[in-house]
Amino acid sequence: MKKLICICMSVMMITLSGCQTSAKTGGFISYDEHYQKNETALKEDALSDRWESRGSKVAVVSKEKADNNDYPEAKEVLLVNNTKNKVIVSQKVFDQAYPASTTKIMTALLTLENLNLSQVVTIKHDITFPDGAAVAIHLKKGDKITVEALLNALIIMSANDAAVALGEAVAGSEANFVKMMNKRAKELGAANTHFANPNGLHLSDHYSTAYDLYLIFKEVAKHNEFFNIAGRSSSRIEYLGSKGEQKIYDMASTNQYIAGTYTLPSQVYMIGGKTGTTTQAGSCLILLTKNKDGEEFISVVLKGVTKSALYHTMTDILSKEN
């Protein structure tokens, strides 16, 4: 009996090993290796109860099973039955990739964990970006806006200044918020992710993997407030300027399934998700959907070569839900 138990434990450890790829070294960091390296720090912060990335709580896939190129129009592809914690599709899911605005999933998660939706945020400074084309609602110093309105701008239209405003509201500064993002990522087992800003605008040291983003998205999926926003096709937010004047901003979803440009496979139903696009990241999308039996699925596609390729690839993998 003892021998049988030892064999079973060995098989489990082999299964769990190799589930994470080190973006810096190209080697593997297993869940258990990561946990052992960080165990003291996790215990000191009393975070052991928040450790989610154990084999019993997440879907697991080996590097070997993910080492394929079945979907050539995208870099990384992942489909997980979130109800059963079972990987359905995996392609290069441990390879380093730029997450673009799918970064905002972590920004939303930390916001929901630390702020109330009704809380009013006073903008500390004009929020601008070197790239004038960066998506923004053009928040100015002295504007007063609720957390809920900022989350709408963050999730629906992917406003980069909303990400900065929320980060500063949570942590006091953007730099402190980035530290929180990286700490939370490690808590969730996203050992091969490094964030450098709250919005996903391109920086060379801002990267993740499809599997890490699944782990983060799995956590935000516990918050209905996220999907109350992410499932909307449009939104109107109202807030006050520095002189008390009313400002109104209408926005449409960047999720082209919700916008109606692309159609989901038969008997697959949208709950919500997040898009992301930069030149370096390509076209990215993370979704929570459900099938005809009510089972929930998390899907990730990173670096689609075009927006059309992204949605065609996503439609292809979503068709495997039923």
Complete DSSP assignment for 253-308? -S-HHHHTSS-PPTT-EEEEEEEEEETTTEEEEEEEEE-TT--EEEEEEEEESSHH
Distance CA 129, CA 132 (A): 6
158 in catalytic set: yes
Q: Which of 53, 75, 92, 104 is catalytic?
A: 104
Active-site residue, from 53, 101, 208, 253? 101
Quick one: which H or E segment has residue 168? helix 160-171
Residue 2, amino acid: K
Rounded CA-CA distance 25/72 in Å is 25
- Is 101 tagged catalytic? yes
Strands, DSSP E only, in the chain? 76-81, 86-91, 120-122, 144-146, 234-240, 246-252, 269-278, 282-290, 296-304
- Closest by CA to 104, choosing from 274, 297, 236, is 274
Catalytic residues: 101, 104, 158
